[in-house]
Each structure stands twice: as C-alpha cells, then as structure tokens.
Chain A
Amino acid sequence: MFQILNENGEVVNKDDLPDLSDDELKELMKRMVYTRILDQRSIALNRQGRLGFYAPTAGQEASQLGSQFALEQDDFILPGYRDVPQLIWQGLPLYQAFLFSKGHFHGNQYPDEVRALSPQIIIGAQYVQTAGVALGLKKRGKKNVAITYTGDGGTSQGDFYEGINNAGAYKAPAIFVVQNNRFAISVPVEKQTNAKTLAQKAVAAGIEGIQVDGMDVLAVYAATKFARDRAVAGEGPTLIETLTYRFGPHTMSGDDPTRYRTEDMDKEWEKKDPLVRFRKYLEGKKLWSEEDENKVIEEAKEDIKQAIKQAEQQPKQKVTDLIDNMFEELPTHLQEQKEIYQAKESK
C-alpha cells in the first residue's frame, strides 16, 4: 500500500512527498474540513426533509479531495453517486449540488467550466463512459484526463472491466479510482471477490494499478498526480484503489450500518481519520491552528445556509420543462403532450 503520512501525521515516505506549497497544503486541509461539515449538515438537512437523496462522505475526504486536487480545470470528471464533493471543488455551485439531492434538473445544468457529468447512479456506467471521454481527449490532442470513481462493489460489474480494458486498448488518458470503503451497502469486500487487492484488477486490462492509503490525502494526491502525468504523456490509464472507510451509512435512504458493521471496526477506522492525521502533519509544520479550523467551519456553515436557501428558491419544475429537455426538436407526440400540460399549468 502506497502511503506518505501515517496515522500520527508523520511522513513515512519522503521520496514520494508531493511538491505542494504551504498555501496548497492549507487549501487541502480547508477543503477536507469544509467537506466534513458539508457531510454533517447534509445529513441533518436530509433528516429535516430539506434534502433528498444523500450518500454520506465522511471518512472519504482524503480519497475524494486528494484525487480532485491533482486535476486541472479542463479535466473531465465522471462521478459516482457518492462523489459530489469532487464536483463542488471543481466548481459546481453548492446550491446546484443540493438541487441534485432534491431531484431538480437545474442541479445538473453545470456551468461550462465544470467539465463533469452529474453523479452516475448506474454503478459501472461511468467507467465505460470514461474510456470514451478519454479517447475523445486523446483524439482532440488535449493535455487533459478523464477521471472516474466507483466503489469496491462496483469492481464486480462488467462495465468496470470493460471501461478499464477499453481505455487500456486505446492507451487513453483515463484515471480510474476505486474507493474501497470495505462495504457495498451491507456486503463486505471479501464477498465481492477473492482477489487480495482491487488494484490488481488492473492486470486484467494490462494497465498500471496502484493501491493507496485512502485515508492519507498526500498519498492519494501523489498517486493521482502520477497517474495524470502518465496519462497526458500518452502512457495510458491507471487504476487507483484507495483504501478508505465511510463513517456513515451507505445512503440516507434507510440503511443501518449497525446491522453489518461492528463498533470496534468503526473505532479502528476512526483512528485513521484523514482529517486527524493531516491536521497533525500541518500543526507540526505550524501551518494549521484551531482558529484556522474554526474559521473554515463557520465559512462552511454559512455557505451551506445560503446554498440551501438558494436551492429552495429555485422555481418548481413543470412537466413542460421536462418535455423541453428531451430533444433538440420536439417530435409531434411531445408537442401534443406539451400543449396538454401547458393548458394544465396555466390554470
């Protein structure tokens, strides 16, 4: 397993320590704290019925944000349903992320500078699509990558394999991230496969595979940067397995992790909390204080308050809006149906 920081925030691998400025290191910490607060608030807002579908992210900050931090603005992200934080840090306005959760199409109308698809619900589909985006980037001669994420369970899908294999066959600039949080809802990773690592699945595609400590933001960043550099140099795709953990339930839709996880297991992983070790690392370098952290927490809470307000002010969706989004030019039957709903909506 590739690691740079241990649980105590000590550098155990100086050779691979990424070249990040003090400001960049602080920015990484800020993002992780912010995202932890976002997770806590999203869970609360979900319980209050002010958000809809929500897949908790606490525990995965290093895996999600360390990898996103290695990207350029013009790289293309194909996220899974748990990968909303990467989109936010790539520039998706928070209120739109909330609209995605609530089930409103405007949540998916991304600004042009956010080159990403909305979170993919069909596990594996983002992998075959990533091979296509990456091939497109290669054909256009762009120095960019397509990056995608799935979980440990997702590695059992056919599309997972087809995606990495296609990208390999075309030597396409793709980064495939497997966030192994040990559980696919209630099914432990041991029931997905007899393979000892998920990173070794790269061998089947003949591509590079790296297993990284997914609770170590510097290791995740360094691995993704390595994969990105290889990809834009024309050396093809990389599969990165991040060993991580979700502290919360699978989703807020009724999953109860106490049915399949022990308290001991949770405690053991909480010791590996990516925020704890990176905080220690930065404090050791005198780059982070309680004051810094509290400032981020307040900023996050305020942003979230404004964003949920903005999301709630979004005009309600009408059937005619949904019809208009179907085709460039509406076929006759949809024109007819639009007229029927226009009449209803004008009553």
Chain B
Amino acid sequence: MAQMTMIQAITDAMRVELKNDENVLVFGEDVGQNGGVFRATEGLQDEFGEDRVFDTPLAESGIGGLAIGLALEGFRPVPEIQFFGFVYEVMDSISGQMARLRYRSGGHYHAPITVRAPFGGGVHTPELHADSLEGLIAQQPGVKVVIPSTPYEAKGLLISAIRDNDPVVFLEHMKLYRSFRGEVPEDAYTVEIGKADVKREGSDVTLLAYGAMVHSSLKAAEELEKDGISAEVIDLRTVSPVDYETILASVKKTNRVVFVQEAQRQAGIAGQVISEIQERAILHLEAPILRVTAPDTVYAFSDAEEVWLPDHKDIVERVNEVIHF
C-alpha cells in the first residue's frame, strides 16, 4: 500500500494497464514528453515509448476520431481531453460515434475506449475549464460515465474503465487531484463500474452525491450529526448507469433524500435520478426529494466561484428542510 493523491493513482492505473495490455494507447494534447498539463501521464512516455504514449495535434474532434479508428484496429485507446469544457468539439465522436459503434454494427465492432478528462470547480480556472457537463454524456445510450472521488477508487475505476469493452467517459475532478492522499494498493485491482458506495452510514436522510460533492456531503454529515441528524452519504461513482439498487436500499431505510451535485440545477443527473426514485419508492418517502445544485447560470467567473458553487452549508440547509418537512 502506498499513500497517493488522486492524480498519482490515475497515473498508476494507466501505468498498470499499459504494462498489462500492449493494446492500451495513451494520447492527447501534451500527454507525452510533457506528462500532461496535470502530470497525469508523467513518466509514461519514458517508460513505454512514443508508440504507446503520444501527443496529438490540437484538435479534440480529431482525437476522438483517432480513438475510434485505433479501436477498429484492435487497440484499447485511452485518449485525454485536456479539459471537459472542450468536449463540445468532440461531442460527435463521443455521443454520435463511439457510443453507437457496437449497436450500429450489430455487435460486429465495439469501442473499448476510455476518454479521460478533468473538470470541476474551486481552483479558479479560466473559462470553460471547470464546467460540469457529465449530464450531457449521461443522456447518451451506449457510453458509461464514471466520476471517482478518492485515490483508491480513481485507480480501481480507471482500470475497470480501460478494461471495459465499451466506451467510458472518465471524469476527474480537478479539486480532488491533489487535495488529499489515500491508501492505494500497488498492484492492479478493479472497482466495479455501475456500483455506488456508501461512504457513511446513516438513518435519517440519504445524501446522493458524486465528485467533489461527496466530500462536501461528508462534511455536511458531520455537522448534521452535531444536531442529532444521521445522514447516509452515497457516492454514486458511476453517473451512467446509476446504481439504483444501492440508492433504493438507502431510501427505504432513511425515507428522505437530498441530491447533491456541483452542476447547475437544469444540468447534471439529479433530475433523472430523482425521477427514478419517485417511480420506484414513492411510498417510502416522508418528504419530497430536494436538490443541492449550482444556480442555472453559465459557470461562474473564477472570482465568483465561492458564492456560486454549492457547499456543505447548502447541504445542511437542504437536509434541514427535508427533515422538518
């Protein structure tokens, strides 16, 4: 076991898979000799060569096309989109193409592609770097969307993503890259895609969260405990497909739910998840399901992030509303 930051765990996952499977290719803008703008691919080109880890021209759509073409030749591409705000340039390759490849070829071809991209607020990035756009991809049938919140899960989920024979969009929250260390086994291990994790057990209310909001929810849960409110915190880990089994088991126990996402209220995945819960468990609910989200504006100018991004105080407030409904 080693103590690693999330970014180190991510690098380690790629190293393990580059070693494990010669079809794995890592590429993107500045991922080669530079080791990535966040050092996520640091040392990988030196270790595995330019044939396996390489830079691309500055063109996201072209990167998506390269990944699809390489997949058709039997490779296992792990392309990087430098910031997920740039996904608009490559929406067709992801949602219009790789997500549909298996289906449109009647299973003849498939796309074992893992698209890695950083996102997320709180680190004062310039425009279109921090936007939470997971909701866009989560609406596309044929692609999975994974968002880890700890170093351990980042490595295990990324290995699972790379080994998955269907496309996975793997979103890495920038604020979590180096904010803390965690225990990470040195060898390969997997964390199952599509499985949520109960990060904290509780009995009065279920907090559903992913990404950085998992940590805000845990912080809120600690505060709530002081007031005698026991919050169960579930980290979705995969936002498409969502693990309803784990969610519903919790809802049936606590009978109250608050959904926490960093994305705007009209974005993210809260609307979809809440809709499923009310279809499947309305008789178990003591209160409406409330949401903690960002406001429905364009992502904040960096100097306004503090007032704009949802935080643990917003969560405590919302939990009190459902508790006292």
Q: Which residues of A contact B (CB under 8 A)?
A: 76, 105-106, 108-110, 117-118, 122, 125, 127-137, 139-140, 146, 158-159, 162-163, 165-166, 169, 322, 324-328, 331-334
Contacts and interface: CB of A to CB of B under 8 A. Distances in A.
B65 interface: yes
Contact of B66 (A76, A118, A131): A131
Task: Tell me the interface secondary structure of chain A in the complex.
Answer: helix
A94 B30 CA distance: 46
B296 interface: no
Contacts of A132: 65-73
Contacts of A129: 65, 68-69, 72, 97
Nearest to B103: A325
A109 B105 contact: yes
A166 B93 CA distance: 15
B226 interface: no
B105 A110 contact: yes
B64 interface: yes
Contacts of B96: 122, 125
A135 B199 CA distance: 43
Given A109-B108, A128-B62, A136 B69 contact: yes
B98 to A, nearest CB: 10
Contact of B105 (A76, A117, A169): A117
B65 A326 contact: no
B59 interface: yes
Interface string B40-70: 0000000000010000110101101111111
Contacts of B166: 327-328
B128 to A, nearest CB: 18
B194 interface: yes
A106 B104 CA distance: 9
Given A108-B108, A165-B57, A131 B65 contact: yes
Given A128-B93, A129-B68, A136-B69, A166 B106 contact: no
B92 interface: yes
B142 interface: yes
B56 A166 contact: yes
A71 to B, nearest CB: 16
B210 to A, nearest CB: 17
Which one of B108, B164, B244, B245 has the greatest number of beta carbons of chain A within 10 Å?
B108
A106 B69 CA distance: 22
Contact of A139 (B73, B144, B164, B241): B73
Contact of B61 (A133, A134, A162, A331): A162
A122 B244 CA distance: 35
B165 A328 contact: yes
B62 A108 contact: no
Contact of B103 (A127, A165, A326): A326
A127 to B, nearest CB: 7
A280 B238 CA distance: 65
A57 B241 CA distance: 42
Interface string B201-227: 000000000000000000000000000
B106 A133 contact: no
Which one of B93, B106, B165 has the greatest number of beta carbons of chain A within 10 Å?
B106
A136 B73 contact: yes
B104 A108 contact: yes
B219 to A, nearest CB: 31
Contacts of A169: 56-57
B102 interface: yes
**What 4 pairs across the A-B complex have the smallest Cβ distances?**
A132-B69, A128-B65, A136-B73, A162-B62
A135 B105 contact: no
7 contacts: A76-B73, A108-B104, A109-B106, A109-B108, A117-B105, A133-B70, A166-B65
Contacts of A333: 241-242, 244
Contacts of A133: 69-70, 72-73
Nearest to A121: B96
